[in-house]
Amino acid sequence: MKKTTTRLADGRELLYYDASDAADRTAADPRPLDPVATTSEIRTDALLGDAVAVASHRQGRPYHPAVDACPLCPSTAGRHTEIPADGYDVVVFENRFPSLTGEHGRCEVVCFTPDHDASFADLTAEQAALVLDAWTDRTAALSQLPGVAQVFCFENRGAEIGVTLGHPHGQIYAYPFVTPRTERMLASLAAHREATGRNLFDDVVARELTDGRRIVLDGAHWVAFVPYAAHWPYEVHLYPKRRVPDLLALDEPARTEFPQIYLEVLRRFDRIFGPEAPPTPYVSAWHQAPVHAADRSQFALHLELFTVRRTPGKLKFLAGSESGMNVFINDVPPEAAAERLREVASES
C-alpha cells in the first residue's frame, strides 16, 4: 500500500491509499475555497447523560447533487471536486461539514472507489482489503489525537438511511467521549465478568456457534451471525474468531479472510428481497474498544450490519416504542432472517 498525504485548498487533510507504488498523487486543489467555519459543540442530556453534538453549519452540506456535480468523483479538466486527482483507489479526507471538529473531535470521509455507480459489494477482494488498510491506518492516527476517546468507522448506504451523496463512501468519527452504546456494552461486559469470570463477547460468539440456527457464514477466522435479540429486520454481526480490541490488532490471516467474508455478506444483503428489488439500504458499523478503556483487551472488535427494509417496499420505522422508549419491536424472527441470508448465498 502506498499512502500519500496532501492538503485541500482550505487546509483540510486528504490522504490517498493506493495499491500501486507508481500512483502519482501530486495534483493540487485549485479551488478558491474559504477556510472551513464550524459551530460544533457537545451538550449533555441531563436526564440520560448522553452526549449530543450540535452542528448547525451542516445545514448547508450538499444534498443529492446530480451525478455530474458529485464532489466525491475524481477531478477532471473541466470540474474540480474534493479529490484533486483524476483517479484514485481509496481516498480519506476531512469532512467540509463535520459533526465533530477541533476540541470536539474529527470527522473524515472515506471514498471506497472512483466509480460513482458502484457499491462496496462491487469491490474486488483486493479493493476491499485496501479499504480495511485505510480504516486501520486512520484508527491508529485518530487514536493519537488529543482528546479523542473512541474511533468509529462506518458506512451509510441508501437514501432510506438518509444518505445525501450517492457515491460509494463511508465516514470515520473520532469522538471526544465514549458513545452511549459502547458504554452500555462495557457495563454488560463488566457485569458478566463479575458474575461468571468469563468474557461476554466470547460467550456470545460461542453460543451462536453452538446453536447454529443464526449462523450466516462460518469462516476460518471470522463468523457472521444474526444476533439472538436482533433489533433490525435483517441484522448481521461479524466477529473475528480470535478476540481483538480494534482493527490494529487483527492478524494477517484475519485481515486476508475479511474481504471475502464481508463482500459475501453484503452481496447477500442485496439479494434478500429478490432480483427486482432496488439495492438494500444499510448501516455498516465497526465497534472498537475506546482508546483509553481500562482493559481494552476484554473488548471484542466486531462489525454490525443492518437494514431498515423489512420487506419489499416497506421500511422499519422507529416509531413510538423505539424512538420514545428505546424498546425495539422486530417483525422478522432472527432465525428466519438467518435462514434467508443462507438461501441467497452466492453460487460457487
The three-point CA angle 280-126-289 to 5° equals: 70
CA torsion 95-157-65-84 (nearest 10°) is: 50
pLDDT at 82 (0 to 100): 97
pLDDT at 59 (0 to 100): 66
Residues present in the chain in total? 348
Of 196, 211, 205, 207, give the one whose Cα is nearest residue 223: 205
Between 302 and 63, the more confident residue is 302
User: What's the rounded mean pLDDT across residues 326-341?
Assistant: 97
User: What's the rounded mean pLDDT across residues 61-85?
Assistant: 90
Is 45 in the same domain as 111?
yes
Is 53 in the same domain as 76?
yes
Read off the pLDDT of residues 212-234 as tens digits, 9 standing for 90 and up: 999 999 999 999 999 999 999 99
Is 220 in the same domain as 261?
yes
Read off the pLDDT of residues 273-306 as tens digits, 9 standing for 90 and up: 999 999 999 999 999 999 999 899 999 999 999 9
User: What's the rounded mean pLDDT across residues 14-24?
Assistant: 96
Model confidence at 63, in pLDDT bands (50, 70, 90)?
low
Is 161 in the same domain as 294?
no
Where among 120, 143, 177 does a domain terminate? Answer: 177
Greatest mean pLDDT range, 41-50, 256-265, 312-321: 256-265
Structural domain boundaries, residue 185? 181-343
Is 134 in the same domain as 42?
yes
pLDDT at 36 (0 to 100): 83
Neighbours of 182 (CB within 10 A): 20
Where among 160, 177, 194 does a domain terminate? Answer: 177
Cβ pair 163, 64 in contact under 8 A = no
Is 138 in the same domain as 22?
yes
User: What's the rounded mean pLDDT across residues 299-315?
Assistant: 96
Residue 271 has pLDDT above 80, yes or no: yes
Mean pLDDT, all residues of the chain: 95
Is 171 in the same domain as 191?
no
Is 43 in the same domain as 96?
yes
User: What's the rounded mean pLDDT across residues 35-48?
Assistant: 89
Of 8, 24, 125, give the one whose Cα is nearest residue 72: 8
CA torsion 228-230-235-241 (nearest 10°) is: -40
Where among 177, 203, 235 does a domain terminate? Answer: 177
Residue 324 has pLDDT above 90, yes or no: yes
Is 323 in the same domain as 289?
yes
In a domain, 348, yes or no: no
In a domain, 331, yes or no: yes
Poorest-confidence range of 47-56, 84-93, 265-274, 288-297?
47-56
Is beta strand 106-111 parallel, antiparallel or unpaired with respect to 234-240?
A: unpaired
Give the DSSP letter string of 106-151: EEEEEE--S-TT--GGGS-HHHHHHHHHHHHHHHHHHHTSTT--EE
pLDDT at 45 (0 to 100): 95
User: What's the rounded mean pLDDT across residues 54-81?
Assistant: 85
Between 61 and 222, the more confident residue is 222
CA distance 23 to 30: 20
The CATH number covering residue 256 comes to 3.30.428.10
Number of structural domains found in the chain: 2
Active centre residues (catalytic): 169
pLDDT at 220 (0 to 100): 98
pLDDT at 102 (0 to 100): 85
Is 29 in the same domain as 104?
yes
pLDDT at 40 (0 to 100): 83
The three-point CA angle 29-72-123 to 5° equals: 130
In a domain, 258, yes or no: yes
pLDDT at 67 (0 to 100): 85
Residue 245 has pLDDT above 90, yes or no: yes
Is 160 in the same domain as 129?
yes
In a domain, 313, yes or no: yes
In a domain, 100, yes or no: yes
Read off the pLDDT of residues 153-162 as tens digits, 9 standing for 90 and up: 999 999 999 8
CA distance 17 to 172: 15
Residue 78 has pLDDT above 80, yes or no: yes
pLDDT at 226 (0 to 100): 98
Is 173 in the same domain as 187?
no
In a domain, 125, yes or no: yes
pLDDT at 348 (0 to 100): 59
